[in-house]
Amino acid sequence: MTINLIKYGLTTAVQADLTKENGQILGRIIGQHRDWYQVITTAGERSAQVTGKLAYEAASPAAFPAVGDWVCLSSSADNQAQIEAIAPRQSVLARGAVNRQDGQIIATNINTIFICMSLNADFNVRRLERYLTIAWDSGALPVIVLTKADLCTDLATKLRAVADVSVGVPTITCSVETGQGLDELQPYLTTGQTVAFVGSSGVGKSTLINRLCQDILATKSIRTDDDKGRHTTTSRQLIPLPTGACVIDTPGMRELQIFMGDLNQTFAEIAALATQCKFNDCTHTSEPGCAVRAAVEVGTVTSERLQSYQKLQREMSYQGLNSRQLEQAKIQRMFGGKQAMKRVKQRYHRD
Ligand SMILES: Nc1nc2c(ncn2[C@@H]2O[C@H](COP(=O)(O)OP(=O)(O)OP(=O)(O)O)[C@@H](O)[C@H]2O)c(=O)[nH]1
Ligand SMILES: [Mg+2]
Ligand SMILES: [Zn+2]
């Protein structure tokens, strides 16, 4: 059996970037489990572990392979495949800061991120802002995929709410029930492309992926298990599509934490207004001459939007702080200023 790795997203750029040593073979991580990886190679699927050297030298979770990585494999004496090296990553989608211990890579080497959100119960633009922020930071292109259009009765209102927080991001409205909008996904699903599906649990990511597979599989009259999409996804996996692209299915994340990400891109209008605030370091809370609060007052920016921005900004400002510094930053925010901080500390010391 020979597998054509082009179906798994191999490009000449990847090949040029990778330095394989004698005897090593090329593979792509298609599944990640507790302590082993599923890797696809021209000779088929292999289960593999990282070498002791790679694990020993790893300074953070980012040093370990993730789904989407191109890797160099070797075989040990007992024919167990070993991951010796990871090729430079073209893009990294992550929650948390990947150079820290609590960071987590969701997928790598992706061209497009389908941020999936359903048009019924799950609809929440505040959550969309979070996903957009980590997507902008990944190096891949975000696309908003609004699912379950068949269950939506106020589409125009919801589309306006999405447009308000996602200037310039392509938005596709679709339904697996009616087939609406599915063809609009196709331009992102051509040969050599890797697309990651992210979004809350139950929005229909796996159902959509199954449908994208089945459309062609059906012409080959292969039946697949109809129920497959109804099961919640438990691990990330990379799947080649009949269109030539490959997709990464991910489990819905309950609470999407961000410590990094380009807020100024997600909140472009607030960033632009902030340049007109009287103070450079204006927090848009109580400073005089604040252009952002002025905009909230006249209604060009909603107060929910400003609150969401400030909340994410606070999360991000904690990035890179250790737990003690984090506590201090919180106390500082609660009590304000250095003097207050001093008083709080003195009180603690006395006790
Ligand atoms: N009415 C309707 N239901 C849909 C549509 N797409 C998916 N569903 C249903 O939504 C439910 C959840 O779909 P999944 O594909 O498992 O959701 P998921 O995003 O993969 O969820 P996790 O794997 O838990 O992250 C299933 O019962 C689907 O049948 C749609 O377009 N319309
Ligand atoms: Mg799923
Ligand atoms: Zn301001």
Note whether 244 and 315 are same-domain residues. Answer: no
Note whether 113 and 238 are same-domain residues. Answer: yes
Domain span at residue 345? 263-350
Note whether 213 and 274 are same-domain residues. Answer: no
Say if 167 falls within a structural domain.
yes
Final residue of a structural domain among 206, 227, 249? 249
pLDDT of residue 342: 52
pLDDT tens per residue, range 228-269: 334 677 778 999 998 899 999 988 765 444 444 567 777 888
Tell which residue, 144, 134, 10, has the closest CA to residue 70.
10
pLDDT tens per residue, range 281-295: 788 888 899 999 999
> How do 141-147 and 171-173 pair as beta strands?
parallel
Note whether 172 and 203 are same-domain residues. Answer: yes
Say if 195 falls within a structural domain.
yes
Tell which residue, 206, 268, 247, 257, has the closest CA to residue 112.
247
Distance CA 129, CA 308 (A): 8
pLDDT of residue 221: 37
The CATH number assigned to the domain holding 40 equals: 2.40.50.140
117 lines ligand 1 (CB under 6 A): no
Note whether 149 and 214 are same-domain residues. Answer: yes
Say if 110 falls within a structural domain.
yes
Note whether 147 and 221 are same-domain residues. Answer: yes
250 lines ligand 1 (CB under 6 A): no
Q: Which residues surround ligand 3, an ion (CB under 5 A)?
A: 277, 282, 284, 290, 292
How far, in Å, from the CA of 309 to the mean position of ligand 3?
Answer: 12
Looking at the structure of the chain, the number of domains it has is 3
Note whether 297 and 207 are same-domain residues. Answer: no
How far, in Å, from the CA of 242 to the mean position of ligand 2?
Answer: 19
Best mutation site among 122, 155, 207 for ligand 1, i.e. most ligand atoms within 8 A of its Cβ?
207
Distance CA 270, CA 262 (A): 13
Hey, which residues does 108 pair with through a beta bridge?
92
Note whether 58 and 202 are same-domain residues. Answer: no
Q: What's the predicted TM-score (pTM) here?
A: 0.74
Give the chain's length: 351
pLDDT of residue 104: 80
Note whether 155 and 177 are same-domain residues. Answer: yes
pLDDT tens per residue, range 184-204: 999 999 999 999 999 988 899
211 lines ligand 1 (CB under 6 A): no
Stretch 48-66: mean pLDDT: 86
Final residue of a structural domain among 56, 88, 120? 88
Say if 254 falls within a structural domain.
no
Residues 6+ apart with CB under 8 A from 79: none
